[in-house]
Amino acid sequence: MRASTLFIGAIALLPTALGQLSGSVGPLTSTSSKASKTCDVTDYGAKADKTTDIGPPLTSAWADCQKGGTVVIPEGDYAMKTWVTLKNGAAVAIQLDGIIYRTGTEGGNMIMIRDTSDFEMFSSTGKGAVQGYGYEVHKSDGQCTGARILRLYKVTSFSVHDLALVDAPMYHFSMDTCTDGEVYNMAIRGGNWGCLDGIDVWSNNIWIHDVMVTNKDECVTVKSPSKNILIENIYCNRSGGCAMGSLGADTAISQVQYKNVYTWTSNQMMMIKSWGGSGYVEDVSFENFIGHGNSYALDIDQYWSSMKEVSGSGVQLTNITMKNWKGAVANGASRGPVKVVCADGAPCSDVTIEDFSVWTESGSKMVNQCRSAYGSGECLKDGTTASYAAVSQTVTAAPTGYTAASMADDLKSDFGTTVSIPIPTMPSSFFPSVTPISKLAGS
């Protein structure tokens, strides 16, 4: 099985530390063992002519290889008119070396994997992709509607890697009620609109690393319920930025770590968002963040006006740590780099802001804001957990060590919503001066 490092055959090399993970992640059997039985979709009627619907051939190939085999989609351009739900697999892989282009118009999920264990979806060349052509929907309807590209539901011991997901009509990739999974070496590129999330995860024991996301909604987002999630080497390249939420009733999120997150010209570096609700977020850390040109840096907002208020006194945030942040926000006077606005009915406790060196790219001051938030650092208060009104902290001198490296693939502009978005080349790195944990396919 695969733990959180390299896979050699079916042997996992255990890491020195699992971060927030609770155990091993990834397929239980090797890629090579699954390759002993292959089902090539072109043997089931698929044609690389960008016209013939790959949906039925893909379903048939899965039926024959779902127990111990590999479904192969060779290099070439394939159309997808009908969506597929592939379920009840075991020790199975999908090798996507071609490019699938959306031609269907339904909502739902273009590709859904469910109730499956020991699963792998990958490109052996690093050139496999799904092109959702979401701009066609957005341009014609003026709305954000349509299909998600990829959804995993109740999948255990799995990996998804070395793929590109491009221009989804709605969301790009979600993991719902999954366990022991690894996602890595991926490029996700969407339009400049909300509702085009990159990766959404509400699962247990998931490792997401070395991923680049362009969109205007969530980059990599943890939703409820989730536990034991490790997210690292993330490149939010003109995105909404990373987030938790939106959080509502009976929230249950714990043991989550984000580290090595680079955010370029996005909405925020990290946000926790809710309004009302109940439950908890606890034992969470955000470490080694770099940001340039973002509207917000740290944005904890439990009165988030973009969501409808949920019944309840608020989600309780406890033991939340921000450490080693650097860079600059676009305008620190209007949107300070620290915003910790907690619910008066459930004040935040044990919040730590440490080694936080973020300055403003416009002007010469920053205004941080805290409300009903307790801990150490910036405008946080010591003491009890009673609610208190918002307080401001004005900073007029640049902090030491705020300058930070940029990335070679930083985009100069977004892709809008009305023109085709090109399939990106996988970047060689997803965080400054950090080599991807697993070798990029085809490199």
Instruction: Give the number of other Cβ atoms within 10 Å of residue 308's Cβ.
Output: 9
CA distances for 327 relative to 32, 166, 399, 409, 430, angstroms: 43, 28, 10, 17, 17
The pairing of strands 241-247 and 270-274 is parallel
- What CA–CA distance (Å, rounded) separates 188 from 48? 23
Instruction: Give the number of other Cβ atoms within 10 Å of residue 331's Cβ.
Output: 14
- Which one from 138, 161, 209, 292 is the annotated catalytic residue? 292
- Phi, psi for 290 (deg, rounded to 5): -125, 135
In the numeric block, which tokens belong to residue 424?
């990106």
- Mapped onto helix, strand or coil, the DSSP state of residue 222 is strand
- Which one from 217, 299, 301, 414 is the annotated catalytic residue? 217
Q: Please answer whether residues 355 and 324 qualify as being in contact, where contact means their C-beta atoms are separated by less than 8 angstroms.
A: yes
Mention every residue, 6+ apart, whose C-beta is less than 8 A from residue 278: 249, 250, 251, 312, 313, 314, 315
Mention every residue, 6+ apart, whose C-beta is less than 8 A from residue 346: 302, 313, 314, 315, 316, 317
CA distances for 217 relative to 55, 245, 395, angstroms: 29, 12, 29
Label residue 316 exposed, middle or buried (CB < 10 Å: 0-12, 13-18, 19+).
Answer: buried
In the numeric block, which tokens belong to residue 382?
């010591």
Would residue 210 show up in a list of annotated catalytic residues for this protein?
no
Would residue 292 show up in a list of annotated catalytic residues for this protein?
yes
CA distances for 271 relative to 274, 300, 341, angstroms: 10, 5, 11
Closest C-alpha to 357, from 413, 309, 302, 395: 395
Mention every residue, 6+ apart, whose C-beta is less than 8 A from residue 360: 328, 329, 330, 331, 332, 333, 337, 366
Q: Please answer whether residues 163 and 122 qualify as being in contact, where contact means their C-beta atoms are separated by less than 8 angstroms.
A: yes
List residues with catalytic annotation.
217, 292
